[in-house]
Structure 1
């Protein structure tokens, strides 16, 4: 089971929302991601929600590469 501190990864306004609502939220719901960052992600990759960002192939590729590095 994956455990995550929502207060650490979400803007305060989103920390108490249900998971389905967070996944449908704009990427700016993530702490440290500005509205402008969200606009740039939309322009570059067509990503508008937290769920779409999680499914972005480039994110998954980067995670796989990082996992290989920690498997040493």
Structure 2
């Protein structure tokens, strides 16, 4: 089954045409709204250097689950 997702609004313009593996290896600032200063803060505080690191971080993952659960019960 093919899946198509438009990430244009979620990514910085320079990353819109990149492959998924390239995006996952990109710094968090490849996400729209984040800057290199955020890259540095995430790396210093949590060791997060890529979008893959960000998405698989246990704290962010737990927060996402809690929000999803809250949306189901509220």
Q: CA deviation at 1:68?
A: 1.2
Q: Which has the larger radius of gyration?
A: 2
Q: TM-score, normalised by structure 1?
A: 0.92
Q: CA deviation at 1:71?
A: 1.1
Extract unaligned runs of 5+ from structure 1: none
Q: CA deviation at 1:21?
A: 0.5
The two structures, once aligned, show a CA RMSD in angstroms of 1.6
Extract unaligned runs of 5+ from structure 2: none
Q: CA deviation at 1:3?
A: 5.8
Deviation beyond 6 Å, 4+ runs, structure 1 = none
Distance in 2 (CA, whole Å) between partners of 1:66 and 1:2 is 25
Q: TM-score, normalised by structure 2?
A: 0.89
Counterpart for residue 39 of structure 1: 40
Aligned length: 72
1:60 matches 2:54 = no
Distance in 1 (CA, whole Å) between partners of 2:3 and 2:67 is 18
